[in-house]
Amino acid sequence: MAFSNSNSSLKLYGFYKVHFCFIWLLLGAANAQLSSTFYSSTCPNALSTIKAVVNAAVANEARMGASLLRLHFHDCFVNGCDGSILLDDTSNFTGEKTAGPNINSVRGFEVIDTIKSQVEKLCPGVVSCADIVAVAARDGVVALGGPSWTVLLGRRDSTTASLSAANSNLPSPALNLSGLIPAFSNKGFTAKEMVALSGGHTIGQARCIIFVLESTMKPT
């Protein structure tokens, strides 16, 4: 399935714009006082650096815009937007990268690595990876012609990750409506907000296995 960036997709983004802004602010509002100007004095060029790397990545492969958005979603849905999805396995824990919904599916890690490397040169030890993932998701959508939204900043990076939490918290593509509603409700979303958030699937590229799965499911 080829990447689609048609006018119809962009119109859908216009419809979802308000909902996206509201929902991503909810996802970003973890256990801290966040601010859109959090790095204005400590790393004033952080946002422009992130944007430049994302724009280059999307120009090289348009699909990457959608991948960065999905990376952020899969990070946030497991114990909050804390960057835990980026962590490799250690002797103390098995990370989230090999969880069923993530393995051979979640992408964009190399883009985040590039951003982090460049930002560290500007402001060592200042900008969290969790914030980079959040901003990169927004910039990826904008690079594809979608809406922009204000990203609140100041997240702290997790020092651990949970394979079991990723497997149990991330919604399965096999879920029907009666399964999806409680999955999102458990994260504080209404059914209407769930539908708006699902608008993120109007861009990107799906794996063939998803279409095979859908074709074998019975309507409910």
Listed residue (136, 137, 132) closest to 156, CA to CA: 132
Let me know the angle formed at the C-alpha of 7 by 143 and 192, rounded to the nearest 5 degrees: 80
Contact 217, 172 (CB under 8 A): no
Q: How far apart are CA 173 and CA 157, in angstroms?
A: 28
Q: Are 145 and 5 in contact (CB under 8 A)?
A: yes
For residue 170, give both structure tokens: 């991330």
**Residue 72 designated active-site:** no
Q: Are the C-beta atoms of residues 87 and 158 closer than 8 Å to each other? A: yes
Alpha helices in 29-159 (DSSP H): 46-60, 63-76, 109-122, 129-143
Q: Which amino acid is it at 114?
A: T
Please state, in angstroms and as integers, the Cα–Cα distance from residue 197 to each residue in 58, 111, 188, 205, following that order: 21, 23, 13, 17
Catalytic member of 19, 72, 74, 201: 74
* Residues constituting the chain: 220
Q: How far apart, in whole angstroms, are the C-alpha atoms of residue 6 and residue 29?
A: 32
Q: Which residues are catalytically annotated?
A: 74
